[in-house]
Chains A and B, each alone.
Chain A
């Protein structure tokens, strides 16, 4: 059974810092990995999707990498801003029917 872990559960950094959020998964037989952002009480906003054949994806200040064989992904946020404060979730797609298995998320706080 696929398990997705995100450690630490919470992170607080000063504005302007570059940071890395980690995600690990137990079964390397994945189709893709998706990073989401969730604001309190809100839905999930897709940030990046990395297919299993890819090593990384970039969108603006965000860069996600994938090492399938070691069961790891990282989300790099450059020059963090207070508006980046949210919970960041990673999810892996391991099934033919595209069900996503989620980690619990990392709650990021960027201090002005």
Chain B
């Protein structure tokens, strides 16, 4: 069964460093998302992406964040200058059509020291 994959599973970085989190959505899906979950808190929406542009972003998704679909398979989240409060589990999700089931990847645990 097709699934969303994410790499790396765990990333440790120093505050102020740039990180790129990678996702490979399900191949025939057109709508892509990033969410994050700080330990012990709710899963929070970050950004949605369709047709090579951002559809919607949350207030969390400031200028330090960017997303890109560099080729036909990958979907990336870049954090330019990481802060301690960026430590969280980051989930990628994809969807065939709007309001359909969103399929989530296993997540990348980001630890900022």
Binding site for B on A (CB under 8 A): 31-32, 34, 36, 41-46, 49, 51, 89, 91, 93, 95-105
Count of A-B contacts judged by CB separation below 8 Å: 61
Please tell me if the beta carbons of A96 and B98 are within 8 angstroms of each other in the complex: yes
Instruction: Report if A98-B104 is in contact (Cβ < 8 Å); known contacts: A44-B43, A89-B43.
Output: no
Please tell me if the beta carbons of A43 and B105 are within 8 angstroms of each other in the complex: yes
Please tell me if the beta carbons of A43 and B106 are within 8 angstroms of each other in the complex: yes
| Distance from A93 Cβ to chain B, minimum over Cβ atoms (Å) | 6
Instruction: List chain B residues, Cβ under 8 A from A42.
Output: 106-107
Binding site for A on B (CB under 8 A): 31, 33, 35, 41-45, 48, 50, 55-56, 58, 91, 93, 95, 98-107, 109
Instruction: List chain B residues, Cβ under 8 A from A34.
Output: 101-102
Please tell me if the beta carbons of B31 and A98 are within 8 angstroms of each other in the complex: yes
